[in-house]
Structure 1
Amino acid sequence: MEISKGFVKVTGGEVWYRRVKNGGNGIPLLVLHGGPGNSHLPLEALDVLNEHREVIYYDQLGSGYSQRPDNPNLWRLDRFVEELGQVRKELRLEEVHILGHSWGTTLLSSYLLTSPNGVKSAVFSSPCLSAPRWADDQKRLLKEMPSEVQAIIDRSEAEGTTDSKEYKEATQEYYKKHVCRLDPWPEVMKKAFTLGNSDIYLSMWGPSEFCVTGNLKEYDCTPRLHEINVPSLFLCGRYDEAAPDTTIYFSSLVPEAKYHIFEESSHTPYLEQHEEYAAVVSAYLHESEHKA
């Protein structure tokens, strides 16, 4: 397995990338990490897909191993969409499959709606394509949590104390159920948190997965999903914060899209059911390449 790393210039700074090759001649796969402000690190589980194609990751500007400019004006969806196009150009990815995870699907859908050339297929993994619907789903899932957890979260958000220790502990209980159900969490998940940029997350999303107060608060691309004209696959876990019924609904809006639910997973099926996730994605990429 041949691994190369480097930096490419984008609007606002430089972003770090990682390319993984193993001799496969399929169309490359570009992976968009979640967040906003997180890193690609847990998604390196997709290295196994390099048997048939090159797999490329990059950390979005401000997070992971990329430069961290002190400029809040950079943390906007349209700049991240522009960045994605710049990364493709600099890495010469004329033909490409793109997989986005969580916020990465927000970025992916917005990018596809600019009608870029050369995208062979799109994989929407644990999609967030409507912030209001996401918030509603989280409220529903929170009601299933223990009453004391709900009380801490409600009180902290009402009083503006979402930076408190008890709020963080309460949200962690939610994350154990709906973000990653592995116990203990893999070290790669813990390390990813140290590489994240909470300022970007807070600016664009909010203090937690279920408290949406950032500049993405009104984001909703569902009225335009019918415009996506590349083969599309929607994925999520049965216990995902990206709720299965919402994921299936999104898939119904994209022409000829398919979906798959991982029955033993939450928001990280690429870790929780690694072999099945890799097999499903690999098969779909192969199918998309060989459509008549």
Structure 2
Amino acid sequence: MLLLFLTAAAVLLALCITTGGTADRSNVTITRTDGGTHEGYVDVTAGRVWFRIVGADSAGTPLLVLHGGPGATHDYLEPLAALADERPVVFYDQLGCGNSDRPDDPALWTVERYVGEVGEVRQALGLDRVHLLGQSWGGALAVEYVLSRNPEGVESLILSAPLLDADRWVADQRANLAAFPDEMQKVVREAESTGDFDSPEYQDAMAAYYARHVCRTDPWPECLNRTFEKISLPVYLGMWGPSEFTCTGTLRTFSVTGRLDEVPVPVLFTCGEHDEAPPATMMYFQGLVPGSELKVFEGASHEHHLEETDAYLAAVREFMRQIDAAP
């Protein structure tokens, strides 16, 4: 297909029209446009973040997608682009990740800076009204954004297997690990005590853990493999820690549990039956958010949007339709 390279001003005008907002053109660079898909960079604090808008000419309220990790990329969430038949779907790689700038400054890897980044991306792309979808760490980011910034124009939150309390996340992973053979548990304990996470035994243990609780498809979808190939270890280590079972980074005291009743917009929680964020934990969080909904996908795990894609997209689509139709 022929790629049309337009001037930045022309594309930004299109963005303003299709997303229904007023973009800050000085902060956006367009590098590629192909029909209703636009790609480029947004200037944010300490660097540039890469973005892609799919379905820019769709009429519905845009969906802004926040990826997990910390340190992952947008790639594994690409199936959400199927929702662009009704609304623009906006992906971006957080600073330090994927196609975005990767500054060598550990002081940048904080919740507060990433929360500010969400607002900077919204302003630059003219996303005055928006649904926010956060997966895993992206769910933490979405909730902290609406609680700490009280932003206007956020219509709803879709929280897919969100990290909402670091201590509870670690406890859930420890409980999952306890169901594996003793030898595998011993390998994990030894790696954490020695700091040697490169041994074949530890890599095998992690592969077994991920196959049960992260993504149960075999082989893994190509988009998920791309994310793991691009993972930013400095961001993951700086914000989380050496493994899913131990948090030593800037997220170690993170919790929004005591503030969930203050979330001011409709919320849909999703998780898989075998998720790292298990159904019992999601039910607990749902009970703290008045009027929220929960969808559990049987047989699936943390990447339930990849394992049960059609059912997941249908649930998210219907939730946003209901919000859009509300008076």
TM-score over 0.5 (shorter chain): yes
Paired residue for 2:109? 75
Where does the alignment leave 5 or more consecutive residues of structure 1 unmatched? none
Alignment of 1:26-65 (within 5 A): 26-65=60-99
Structure 2: distance between partners of 1:171 and 1:38: 17
**Deviations 1:49-81 (Å, cap 9, x if unpaired)?**
011101000000000100111111110110000
Q: Quick one: percent identity of the two aligned structures?
A: 46
Are 1:165 and 2:165 counterparts? Answer: no
Is the Cα contact below 8 Å between 1:15 and 1:58 reproduced in 2? yes
Paired residue for 2:14? none
Paired residue for 1:242? 277
Of 269, 277, 280, 2:312 maps to 277
Are 1:128 and 2:163 counterparts? Answer: yes
Higher relative contact order, chain-length normalized (CA < 8 Å, sep 6+): 1
Over the residues paired in the alignment, what is the CA RMSD in angstroms?
1.1
Structure 1: distance between partners of 2:74 and 2:163: 17
Structure 1: distance between partners of 2:50 and 2:295: 31
Structure 1: distance between partners of 2:219 and 2:245: 23
Are 1:210 and 2:245 counterparts? Answer: yes
Of 217, 221, 228, 1:182 maps to 217
Is the Cα contact below 8 Å between 2:78 and 2:223 reproduced in 1? no
Is the Cα contact below 8 Å between 1:128 and 1:134 reproduced in 2? yes
Where does the alignment leave 5 or more consecutive residues of structure 2 unmatched? 1-34
Name the SS of the counterpart of 1:139 in structure 2: helix
Paired residue for 1:10? 44
Q: Displacement of 1:39 after TM fit?
A: 0.1
**Deviations 1:110-133 (Å, cap 9, x if unpaired)?**
101021100001000001100000
**Stretches of 4+ moved more than 3 A in 1?**
none
Name the SS of the counterpart of 1:26 in structure 2: coil
Is the Cα contact below 8 Å between 1:39 and 1:64 reproduced in 2? yes
**Letter matched to residue 273 of structure 2:** R
TM-score by length of 2: 0.87
Paired residue for 2:121? 87
Paired residue for 2:185? 150
Q: Displacement of 1:174 after TM fit?
A: 0.3
104-113 or 140-149: bigger deviation: 140-149
Q: Displacement of 1:170 after TM fit?
A: 1.0
Q: Displacement of 1:264 after TM fit?
A: 2.0
Q: Displacement of 1:267 after TM fit?
A: 0.4
**Letter matched to residue 254 of structure 1:** V
Q: Displacement of 1:211 after TM fit?
A: 1.8
Q: Displacement of 1:148 after TM fit?
A: 1.7
Q: Displacement of 1:22 after TM fit?
A: 6.6
